[in-house]
């Protein structure tokens, strides 16, 4: 299943290459709901919040409301969810699943205290843990900090805190150069939970390959540029 992504920076939808270079932006963010209306799921990611900058909270909240009310999307929201009040707020707004990224780890280890609290409060089915990788290792805080950890090593330890993993290959993010299928196969062997793959995906063939592994695909650049649908 293809899942379109709305990544937010400074009130606009953007697509970045390698998580840093801005390739395109859309000022009318709400127009993307119409563009993506045929899809079942939608990802809304607040990149500013993930990077510790001024979050796009009001915009995120409006997108959630319209996406669910006007288009019937199921919505996953991520980016800077590092506290219980923020997690609870998103759940109250009707978010189907929240994506926990940097907060899943603390001092290079699993942040069991926070994950236990958010899992108990929101319910395990509502939690997706993001494990983004650059140059083979986990990267956090908006892809700005690298840890000497591999996603495949962490997955078995994190399974009890979530219902799925979102795994982004930052090395290929935004490039449309093709998915790193060998890396996704490694991740598939590491866990039995659902995996949402992201990074470089640009063809229907890759979507089918990921589907054959039992993975959904979160796609940004290729759907913005109408390369695949």
Residue among 7, 48, 169, 216 flagged as catalytic: 7
CA–CA dist 23, 20 (Å, integer): 9
Per DSSP, the three-state class of 72 is coil
Token duo for residue 199? 């990074």
E strand segments, 11-93: 12-17, 21-26, 41-46, 74-78
SS3 151: helix
Let me know if 132 is a catalytic residue. yes
96 is catalytic: no
Phi and psi angles of residue 224, each rounded to the nearest 5 degrees, phi first: -65, -35
Residue of 96, 132, 171, 216 marked catalytic: 132
Q: How far apart are CA 81 and CA 79, in angstroms?
A: 6
Kindly tell me the sign of the dihedral angle through the C-alpha atoms of 226, 74, 10, 107: negative
List, by residue number, the catalytic residues: 7, 132
């Amino acid at each position: 299943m293809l899942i379109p992504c709305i990544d937010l920076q400074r009130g606009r939808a953007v697509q970045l290459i390698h998580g840093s270079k801005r390739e395109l932006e859309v000022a009318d963010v709400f127009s993307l709901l119409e563009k993506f209306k045929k899809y079942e799921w939608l990802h809304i990611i607040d990149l500013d919040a993930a990077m510790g900058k001024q979050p796009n909270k009001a915009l995120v909240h409006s997108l959630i409301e319209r996406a669910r009310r006007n288009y019937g999307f199921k919505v996953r929201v991520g980016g800077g969810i590092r506290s219980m009040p923020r997690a609870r707020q998103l759940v109250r707004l009707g978010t189907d699943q929240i994506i926990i990224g940097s907060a899943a780890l603390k001092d290079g280890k699993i942040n069991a205290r926070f994950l236990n609290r958010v899992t108990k409060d929101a319910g395990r089915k509502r939690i997706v843990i993001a494990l983004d990788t650059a140059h083979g290792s986990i990267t956090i805080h908006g892809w700005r900090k690298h840890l000497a950890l591999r996603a495949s090593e962490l997955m078995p330890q994190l399974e009890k805190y979530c219902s799925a993993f979102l795994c982004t290959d930052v090395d290929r993010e935004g490039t449309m150069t093709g998915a790193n299928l060998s890396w996704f196969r490694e991740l598939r062997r590491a866990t039995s939970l659902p995996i949402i793959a992201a990074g470089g995906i640009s063809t229907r063939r890759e979507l089918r390959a990921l589907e054959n592994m039992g993975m959904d695909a979160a796609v940004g650049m290729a759907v913005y540029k109408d390369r695949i649908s």
